[in-house]
Structure 1
Amino acid sequence: MDWQSLRRIVTDNNKEGRSRVLIDGAAAKLVALEEAGLAEIWSADLDEARLLDAKDHLADADLRLEPDPGSVKVRWFTIAREDPAKTIEELEASAAFGFGAVGAGHCRVDTTRHPAMHKTQSLDVIVLVKGIVDLLLDDGEAVGLKPGDVVIQRATNHGWVNRGDDTALLVAVLIHAA
């Protein structure tokens, strides 16, 4: 995945109240392991003062999977093709490392179905941009999501699996729900 080719543009208003581009560039933060990873686009509290201030709060913040209480996160993330030759122990080690890297080890509440399963206290709107993925749930799954498909993930235990040929790219908007 060429993370540098993904461009984020954030707008704001100048002192005269005229709209302008505040940020035009790459992601604020990135964590990636091989082809899987996530890159932060924007984060803001859902109050007017923070929403409209001109600071890129991600530049100073630790990379975390979940949004803070009363806030929203927007990010790209990728799902690497799952290697059928990997053992369950190897998949578990990769998942534990990845979730640990974004402060989300506690989100892995029930991984009996798959090591990538996790649950966050957020309402997530997820759009598949490239590739094909399956959404695993405790009971059932949505198979063969394709570009343009949208998932409304409502604080449920879930995991993403890519059984396709290419790395999948998704965009997520996460709204803290607790």
Structure 2
Amino acid sequence: MNEHKTDRLVVPPDAVAQVAACLQRLMADSNASLSMVIDRSGRVIASESRDPRSGIADLGVLIAAAYSSLQEIARLLREENFQTILHEGLRERIVTETIDARWLLVVLFDEQVQVGLVRVLTRRTASTLAAILDLQQQPPKFSRQRQKQFRRAAQDTIDLIFGKDPEGPDRERT
């Protein structure tokens, strides 16, 4: 799996794999035909589909645009936001659920699947995904020892670039 960049955030392959596993379970539990996580600009972080589909990236962008316009409607109505959005067609339905403020969970299903079931499962999955994706926003924590090692490695690299002996007499010990 590849890393996915989203709003200057890199979602590493192991997190993408966790997201994909959540999407697979959601699809199995709800009998949905497609599930995906997109960022607010519409970039697909991960997607799962029962059948091969083309245009998933386009679908992500269009759903994100629709979501943004509905959030503007919410603002005009003095609502904080619309957490869950349902689009119903003759054959297909789409539930979009907000994951924190940065991502959207999108679930596509047909008219034979219960809307209420999908909404409950989508909300539960969004909570799980929020925990996974929230970890990606936190900067890594370094111990003091690790900081010293990093500082020493950086200083050694600078010394090598400028031709100083890293073990020379003017070397400051950290």
Normalising by structure 1, what TM-score?
0.25
Structure with the higher fraction of residues in strand conformation = 1
Q: Which has the higher contact order (CA 8 A, sep 6+)?
A: 1
Structure with the higher fraction of residues in helix conformation = 2
Normalising by structure 2, what TM-score?
0.26
